Amino acid sequence: MTVYMLSVHHSPDAPPPSPDEMQKAFKQVEEFNAEVHAAGAWVFAGGLESPEIATVVSCKGSDVIITDGPFGETKEHLGGFWVISASDLDAALEWAKKGSAACMGPVEVRPFQPDTEDL
């Protein structure tokens, strides 16, 4: 089995969803989460707060720089994610399709690098 991260992306330029749309997405994601659990593919998942409240820590030699705000200015930001276990990329993509439909937004699929201890 390979472990994949299904990341949910949001655009800060998009209008915010209505309260009804948000409640619909929450319900759909809850149902999706239950399906992933039931299938034994669940590893971990979580939603993230807005990138505006992020703190960036950067070490350069012995210097440590701590700054407020997101790491980069981008057109999209990571809003949440699922970490799943799937037999292959095709299976992970099937989960991503369902996750995208549930959260009503795009979902990126990326495998974790293999654990070097297992090689």
Chain CA centroid to CA 47, Å: 7
How sure is the predictor about 52, in pLDDT bands with cuts at 50, 70 and 90?
A: confident
Does 72 reside within a domain?
A: no
How sure is the predictor about 25, in pLDDT bands with cuts at 50, 70 and 90?
A: very high
Report, as an integer, the average pLDDT of 59-67.
91
Distances (CA, A) of 65 to 50, 59, 71, 87, 115: 21, 6, 12, 41, 30
Enter the pTM of the model.
0.82
Does 71 reside within a domain?
A: no
Q: How many residues does the chain have?
A: 119
CATH code at 32?
A: 3.30.70.1060
Does 9 reside within a domain?
A: yes
In tens, the pLDDT along 12-21 reads 778 888 999 9
Average pLDDT of the chain is 89
Domain count, the chain: 1
How sure is the predictor about 117, in pLDDT bands with cuts at 50, 70 and 90?
A: low
- What is the residue range of 85's domain? 2-48+77-118
